[in-house]
Amino acid sequence: MSSLSDFVAVSFVCLQDAITAANIAAAPKNQIGHVVMRPGIQIEPDMAQFQDMCCEGYAYLRVMRVMAPEEPTRQEPLGTPISPCGMDSLGAEMELSIFRCAEVGNIDFPVQDDAWNAAYIQLLKDFDTLNSALCCIRNAFAQNHQTWSIVYNDWQPWEVQGACLGSRLQFTATIECPDEDCLGARID
């Protein structure tokens, strides 16, 4: 398993744990029903004729992109052979997100103020849940003495789309791979 795979696996467990804790404290209508890892450039909640994952509560983790860090983390003496892939560290931009149902008004019955206020308060609770997951990720690697760092990028509420609203928290992890390159090959 590569260091990126390890990082994603632990990050996903942290998201699951944060969602479980939030679900215990939440009213049934505010619980998250789906916690998944999703690929893709932009994630849309899955909706079908008989199922709406947004209204069932939907949380995900995704890797947005992986890149080489700006500076190598290990300086090898000149002439030292490197692994075929040569990556001793990498940067991974990650995203944690939660989608939920929002009340939808129409021309005859607009959404009431108390419904907008409740939706906004729920977004702030979701921010706390996503932050809890990120804190868990940091703590997991601090306890395991990993040489990985995490930088908080930003949290953004999504625009309300149909009956769906949500938010995302983006962060960057620098993953150092001291005994192997970041793709899993041993460095001797």
CA 142 to chain centre: 18
CA distance 4 to 85: 14
Asked whether residue 159 carries a pLDDT value surpassing 90, the answer given is: no
Q: Report pTM.
A: 0.82
pLDDT of residue 135: 95
CA distance 3 to 7: 6
pLDDT of residue 188: 47
Rg, Å, the chain Cα set = 20
100-109, pLDDT tens digit by residue? Answer: 888 777 778 8
Q: Dig out the tokens for 53 from the structure.
A: 């994952």
pLDDT of residue 173: 87
Place of tokens 């921010």: 127
35-90, pLDDT tens digit by residue? Answer: 999 887 777 666 555 667 788 889 999 999 888 765 554 555 555 555 555 566 77
Select the more confidently predicted residue: 17 or 88.
17
